[in-house]
């Protein structure tokens, strides 16, 4: 049995309200899928500080202004959902992915792998016009 990530993307509208953005995958929108949803434990570590990899940011919980849709998804997991957090697309894009990972003989680029960077490219397009963020949690 492993751990899975559940992730969603939101963007801030001109009104200031955050709304969920459907996740495009190979030119198809997949309603129940989000970025980083492959079972890549190094990516989980980078996002949330699990498995001995330093997190980009300590888990923050879900933001107070989370969209109703994502809040409902989270509530549906009850106690099985854990380590809720979020990262802005700007934070993800600002990382020096060619820097070495502390305690590892690899750079972040090598550690995170191609699927992470495919998802990051999609996120960069989503966040090009307005603030965007990735919200996530894990289950076992």
Return the structure tokens found at 34: 């989000």
Q: How far apart are CA 2 and CA 40, in angstroms?
A: 10
Torsion angles phi and psi, residue 105, rounded to 5: -95, 50
pTM for the whole structure: 0.90
Q: DSSP label at 130?
A: S
SS3 category, 44? helix
At 43-55, the pLDDT tens digits run 988 998 877 788 8
At 74-127, the pLDDT tens digits run 999 888 999 999 999 999 999 999 999 988 899 999 999 999 999 999 999 999
Q: How far apart are CA 82 and CA 109, in angstroms?
A: 26
Confidence class of residue 25 from pLDDT cuts 50, 70 and 90?
low
Q: How many CB atoms lie within 10 A of CB 3?
A: 14
Q: How far apart are CA 133 and CA 123, in angstroms?
A: 9
């Amino acid at each position: 049995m492993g751990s899975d990530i559940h992730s969603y993307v939101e963007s801030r509208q001109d009104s200031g309200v955050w709304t969920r953005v459907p996740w495009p995958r190979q030119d198809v929108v997949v309603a129940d899928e989000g970025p980083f949803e492959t079972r890549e434990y190094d990516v989980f570590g980078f996002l949330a500080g699990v498995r001995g990899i330093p997190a980009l940011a300590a888990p923050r919980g879900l933001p107070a202004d989370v969209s109703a849709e994502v809040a409902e998804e989270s509530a549906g997991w009850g106690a099985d959902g854990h380590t809720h957090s979020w990262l802005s697309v700007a934070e993800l894009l600002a990382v020096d992915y060619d820097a070495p990972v502390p305690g590892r003989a690899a750079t972040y680029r090598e550690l995170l792998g191609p699927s992470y960077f495919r998802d990051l490219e999609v996120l960069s397009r989503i966040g090009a016009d307005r603030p965007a963020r990735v919200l996530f949690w894990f289950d076992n």
